[in-house]
């Protein structure tokens, strides 16, 4: 499974939206940024070259110029954490295109909802080279080192669940990277609910028969694996891979749709096709779990993405 076209720009190397952004500068809000754009100051270079700037920004000119220099340097060194800290979750989508080629799309499976009383069973990571599963008892301890190569971590509901859960057990292993939680830009666009619901609405739904499984079944699959059913672990990994495989397409769609908020043309990212997931799984496990959906489920809390 490979990710194609993740780092392609538009024709003639057109600028990405980050270089049009000013709201991550101290004292600059959306209104000031809008005034800058309306004055024809649409890029960092435009601001430096301008002989006059709107009144709202005139008193901050030196500060903004310094921040432009710092932003250029941080972008050149691929310092995702810097930009993640500068932008709110509402606007962090703007960094996506610049860091897309060094992104890890991540999703975790656990035995429950709280790290204090539960364990991580596996972490799935998809990047431009393919999918990799980090499984408890096998190679989960390799996760911190593996994360060092990425400048951007992309999740769905990860700010509330995946990232805190992982950091509870491994420490601040994402401190060097930006984190884009797709729940926020998608909600801004009017897409809410669970991951699978949004996949269906945006027509990136998974084709596999595993599409009817959810977080509750993921917990059960791990329990089946602990009882010695190898097919259950294969199915859990495949289920996780199907979850992760949707994230790049959702990120691309969210980024491109939010470009409508920018009052001048910005080149969108080129959408990439959902990768074909060819990992093995046990159909008998899927059938048994699908038949067991009539069970009373012991976990009823909302995770935001899944209901156990």
Percent of the chain with pLDDT over 70: 90
CA separation for the pair 209, 232 (Å, rounded): 15
How many other C-beta atoms can be found within 10 angstroms of the C-beta atom of residue 49? 9
- Does pLDDT of 298 surpass 80? no
Nearest CA to 143 out of 118, 171, 164, 116 is that of 171
pTM, two decimal places: 0.89
Cβ neighbours for 208, distance < 8 A, ≥ 6 positions apart: 238, 242, 277
pLDDT in tens, 133-165: 999 999 999 999 999 999 999 999 999 999 999
pLDDT in tens, 78-93: 999 999 999 999 999 9
- Average pLDDT taken over every residue of the chain: 89
- CATH class given for the domain over 96-294: alpha beta
Q: Which of left, alpha, beta for 64 (phi over 0: left; psi -120 to 50: alpha)?
A: alpha
Tell me the average pLDDT across 91-104.
96
Banded model confidence at residue 14, pLDDT cuts 50, 70, 90: low
Higher pLDDT, residue 6 or 52: 52
Whole-number pLDDT of residue 293: 60
- The residues that bridge with 126 in the sheet, in sequence order, are 105, 131
Nearest CA to 191 out of 257, 105, 242, 243 is that of 257
Whole-number pLDDT of residue 193: 85
Report the length, in residues, of the chain.
308
- Does pLDDT of 62 surpass 70? yes
Give yes or no for a contact between 274 and 204, defined as CB atoms under 8 angstroms apart.
yes
Q: Residue 97 CA to chain centroid, in angstroms? A: 12
How many other C-beta atoms can be found within 10 angstroms of the C-beta atom of residue 268? 18
Nearest CA to 72 out of 8, 18, 148, 14 is that of 18
CA separation for the pair 152, 103 (Å, rounded): 5
pLDDT in tens, 247-288: 999 999 999 999 999 999 999 999 877 788 889 999 999 999
pLDDT in tens, 188-204: 999 988 888 999 899 88
Query: Which tokens hold the place of 153?
Result: 């971590």
Tell me the average pLDDT across 65-84.
96
């Amino acid at each position: 499974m490979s990710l194609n076209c993740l780092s392609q720009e538009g024709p003639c190397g057109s600028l990405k939206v980050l270089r049009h952004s000013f709201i991550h500068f101290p004292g600059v809000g959306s209104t000031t940024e809008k005034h800058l754009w309306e004055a024809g100051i649409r890029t960092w270079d435009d601001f430096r070259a301008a002989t006059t700037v709107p009144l709202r920004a005139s008193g901050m000119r030196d500060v903004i110029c310094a921040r432009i220099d710092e932003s250029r340097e941080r972008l050149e060194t691929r310092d995702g954490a810097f930009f993640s800290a500068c932008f709110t979750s509402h606007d962090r989508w703007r960094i996506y295109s610049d860091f897309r080629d060094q992104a890890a799309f991540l999703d975790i499976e656990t035995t429950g909802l709280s790290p204090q009383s539960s364990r991580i069973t596996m972490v799935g990571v998809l990047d431009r080279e393919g999918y990799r599963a980090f499984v408890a008892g096998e190679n989960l301890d390799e996760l911190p080192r593996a994360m060092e190569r990425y400048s951007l971590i992309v999740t769905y509901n990860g700010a509330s669940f995946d990232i805190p859960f992982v950091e509870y057990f491994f420490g601040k292993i994402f401190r060097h990277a930006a984190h884009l939680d797709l729940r926020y830009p998608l909600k801004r666009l009017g897409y809410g609910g669970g991951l699978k619901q949004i996949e269906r609405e945006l027509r990136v739904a998974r084709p596999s028969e595993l599409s009817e499984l959810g977080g509750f079944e993921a917990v059960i699959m791990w329990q089946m694996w602990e009882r010695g059913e190898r097919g259950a672990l294969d199915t859990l990994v495949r289920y996780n891979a199907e979850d992760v495989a949707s994230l790049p397409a959702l990120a691309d769609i969210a980024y491109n749709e939010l470009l409508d908020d920018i009052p001048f043309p910005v080149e969108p990212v080129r959408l990439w096709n959902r990768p074909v997931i060819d990992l093995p799984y046990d159909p008998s496990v899927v059938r048994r779990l699908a038949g067991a959906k009539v069970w009373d489920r012991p976990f009823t809390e909302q995770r935001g993405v899944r209901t156990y």
